[in-house]
Chain A
């Protein structure tokens, strides 16, 4: 546990290290990314164990959702780093004689990443990969609700990465508050909208830019696709049995609820008698083992908490509507979600979904998988957050794109200096319109000018 003074001193050391410029070098960035790759490979077993302990996650699921995707991301970053770091030339009009313009990405400095407990490795390391690739020094605060993962991250990172540039600080809300009081060049937060507001408000003090990856009620719109809804529910029940067996609690393929507090929250969602009556499958809760079985509800009351708050648990309400197109209005009457899923072959409905709703992303005929697509930005809009990452977007999110223009002394547009007169005005007008012929005519004295008001 760090004291306030220790923390401030450590952060100042990190800023000093950054100022020396080591983290800007491509070789350093590559070494850190390679370090992460080695970490993921060598600590795979320990990571699986920690996830099993904190979340009851099966190791193949852990691989699919966390280790596997992280490995892919590091490899992409290593391959693309040179390209990402290169400056981009900006186009200039012809009148900008002997001028060159480019955009140069530079690191922001010392950044803070606050991650969540549901994908404790993924949501910690995905942003970190971007931050390191962009040349920053990083402090990571993992969620205290997944303690085995947090302490593994702390140990592993101090072993595999540059200690002077990357630190993990563990703790709960009070540690979070202390960290938020410090000066950062960027804060990357994954979590709830409630805490998101606290993070952004704290960032105001130092005018720190933030990325907020929040949540929301992500809907899946299911078109008829040749079967009625009750047939679909039957199909769902069968597939659940296929995936998790007759007794899901015994299956090792399904994760637990993170802690008692969340379990009780979910249990309460089902308490309302109308909600309870709408359960068509599952519903049993085992408090001691932090287990809730996959539960399907059909048409629970819309004002119930289960339909107003983000569920974040194994309860799936199904809402039925007259026409599938009504789903657009249904979605639009609620805060913008992080993702919208839509299962349909109907191209018109697809177009409607895209152009008439707003969300972080839209995925057709699948779920979740957009998380693994490096070329698509991952982030929210409205209540689901702002800012984005994944792939090159991670690099950009932790960079400042500096605009640079270089001029020569040889040519000068002398008519942009006072003392002012009408001749200069005419030349300027032609220049701004990129009217090269007009420019020549003015110089030759062949262009008549417009009457302008006083002040010249």
Chain B
């Protein structure tokens, strides 16, 4: 709701504003939806003047239609695919994280969601040399783990430090600060937060940790916060051309099957969703780094395809050998 203010448009002076307020027309929406003849009579102003003001306000506050062809051209030039660094994950996601979209990773405790997030952050900052914004709501991020992953990529101390500097971490532990931080980032804070460099990935680990305590019951505020955070993430992804990766917990569905948490309202937010699970193949007694990833929602691939993911991929030192093909950023 945008309130009417003096000087908002030519013709809206103090006197007219007062008479409009007296006629119970307080916001732009009220003025636009009201019957102008009636309002003109009540406020004793000319219909023409009101009509002109209405036209200007409408032009100022409406979203303008864009032709599909222009939108497509813009998208072709601005969309990039960010490789996650792990070939199996890339195959599942149709070659990587797409900028302008929100991708969700869900899994139970210990399924490796945070490890995947670390791996993606390290890959983007070191291999692709782009900045990453990492919002940590669980307290699971430690710089020493990131350093350990970087040490397997390169032994040059300077390069490691540079890569670490490109990862900007925000620690938040409640839904209100998450929403506020995302709003700040969306309204231009992205460049400031990253110190002027280009941000290509925003990782939120995890969204459900701060939102799910507020859901349930008759209160609407939790759902509203969730949708506000979601809209901020999507707007940020689209406007700044970043790939957003979020993590989510899992719950059991009606038939006992594992499904991502946060409910049906959240399920429409991410464009692609992956479910991580422990594989049964590992012999008991030894901790395996293998996980099974299932694609449960995608606009590009058929659903329910599975891939086996090795969480140690990002820490393997054999990757530095020349035999491996490097996946870089590619334009779609």
Q: Do A and B bind each other?
A: no
Which residues from chain B sit less than 8 Å from chain A, CB to CB?
A: none
List residues of chain A with CB under 8 Å of any chain B CB: none
